């Protein structure tokens, strides 16, 4: 099944602060915050939600179709997508812009502070979803505001089920707009912080929002995840990572697992466990797209972690 991945393509500039933010940020002095973090480690990686999700879904044997906008500095990324055998038909190059850029600082507790320049992402609405696309499933991940709103409307009009993943784009939308996304979507995926923000903005508890979609997925980091579906609350344990190196892109890897499970017709227990495993595989590598695993290796790790076959 071909899956449409609507979201950002970005270059991630990842920095590691060899300390803890909480030791340098004084809560009672937030109103005059002025701090600097020495970051001896700096890497530039391929990232963005659409790029990361497509990378992981391809690894699982899925058929992702990326819809994103990039800038004039996108040549390296476009060459990478071609090497990964990912189609460029709906990756639009916008003149006089830069590809979206994330500047991510991670501390020793795996907390992150991110600054993000949207660049070409702000023009995501220039990509339109038409009936001849061929996708049977989609995800709307963080992207330009207008593009996210437009793509949700277009998918709903075409009757294509999609997952809404507001992520760090949630502050762009009002509570009313977020509810409109939820009511158009088939699936909703948030982490624990985003879940609290979603409740605050919409005035609805997650359990109530879960009744408006086929499934609501709540990730909780090291505490595992919860899937609300079919009137059930399904607890998904964490898969064991070989090592914890870098959380950047773990949420995207998890969502690729969800999409693969949905496309394959897995039940929610298997789907959630596969998603958890993909996050664990990713966290053992730096960057959002440097981890690799064959289908046989993924199946072996699934059996090792959960005691059943994938």
175-190 confidence digits (pLDDT tens): 999 999 999 999 999 9
Query: In terms of Cα–Cα distance, which of 249, 242, 221, 251 is closest to 284?
Result: 242
Nearest-angstrom CA–CA distance, 234 and 217? 9
Residue spans per domain, the chain? 2-21+40-306
Between CA 103 and CA 1 the distance in angstroms is 34
3-state secondary structure at position 95: coil
Residue 55 CA, distance from chain mean position: 11
pLDDT tens track for 38-90: 999 888 999 999 999 999 999 999 999 999 999 999 999 999 999 999 999 99
Query: What percentage of the chain carries pLDDT values higher than 70?
Result: 100
pLDDT digits (tens, 9 = 90+) for 5-23: 999 999 989 898 999 999 9
Strands across the sheet with 232-236, in order?
Answer: 91-93, 63-70, 2-6, 137-140, 162-164, 187-191, 215-219, 225-229, 232-236
What are the structure tokens assigned to 100, written together? 């979206």
- Token pair listed for 283: 């966290």
- The CATH superfamily assigned to 2-21+40-306 is Ribokinase (3.40.1190.20)
Q: Considering the entire predicted model, what is its pTM?
A: 0.91
Query: Which residues lie closer than 8 Å to 34 by C-beta, 6 or more apart?
Result: none
Query: In terms of Cα–Cα distance, which of 226, 201, 224 is closest to 215?
Result: 226
Q: Which class for 177: exposed (0-12), middle (13-18), buried (19 or more C-beta within 10 A)?
A: middle
* CA dihedral over 14, 20, 21, 24, signed as positive or negative: negative
Given pLDDT bands bounded at 50, 70 and 90, which one contains residue 110? Answer: confident
Average pLDDT over residues 222-248: 94
Residues 252-266, mean pLDDT to the nearest whole number? 98
Q: How many CB atoms lie within 10 A of CB 121?
A: 31
Tokens of 5: 């991945």
């Amino acid at each position: 099944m071909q899956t449409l991945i609507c979201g950002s393509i970005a270059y991630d500039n990842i920095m590691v602060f060899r300390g803890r933010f909480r030791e340098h940020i004084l809560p009672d002095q937030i109103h005059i915050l002025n701090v600097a973090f020495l970051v001896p480690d700096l890497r530039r990686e391929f990232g963005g939600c659409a790029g990361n999700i497509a990378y992981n879904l391809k690894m699982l044997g899925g058929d992702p179709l990326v819809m994103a906008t990039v800038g004039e500095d996108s040549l390296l990324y476009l060459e990478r997508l071609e090497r990964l055998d990912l189609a460029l038909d709906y990756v639009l190059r916008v003149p006089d812009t830069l590809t979206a850029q994330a500047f991510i600082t991670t501390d020793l507790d795996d907390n992150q502070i991110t600054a993000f320049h949207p660049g070409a992402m702000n023009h995501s609405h220039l990509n339109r979803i038409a009936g001849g696309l061929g996708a049977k499933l989609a995800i709307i991940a963080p992207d330009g505001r207008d593009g996210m709103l437009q793509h949700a409307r277009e998918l709903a009009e075409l009757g294509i089920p999609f997952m809404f993943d507001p992520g760090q784009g949630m502050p762009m939308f009002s509570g009313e707009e977020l509810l409109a996304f939820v009511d158009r979507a088939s699936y909703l995926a948030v982490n624990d912080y985003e879940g609290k923000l979603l409740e605050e903005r919409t005035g609805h508890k997650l359990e109530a929002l879960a009744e408006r979609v086929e499934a609501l997925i709540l990730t909780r980091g090291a505490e595992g995840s919860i899937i609300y579906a079919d009137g059930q609350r399904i607890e998904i344990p964490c898969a064991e990572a070989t090592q914890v190196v870098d959380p950047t892109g773990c949420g995207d890897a998890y969502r690729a697992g969800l999409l693969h499970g949905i496309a394959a017709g897995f039940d929610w227990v298997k789907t959630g466990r596969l998603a958890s495993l993909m996050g664990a595989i990713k966290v053992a590598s730096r960057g959002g797209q440097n981890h690799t695993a064959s289908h046989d290796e993924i199946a072996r790790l699934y059996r090792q972690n959960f005691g059943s076959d994938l």
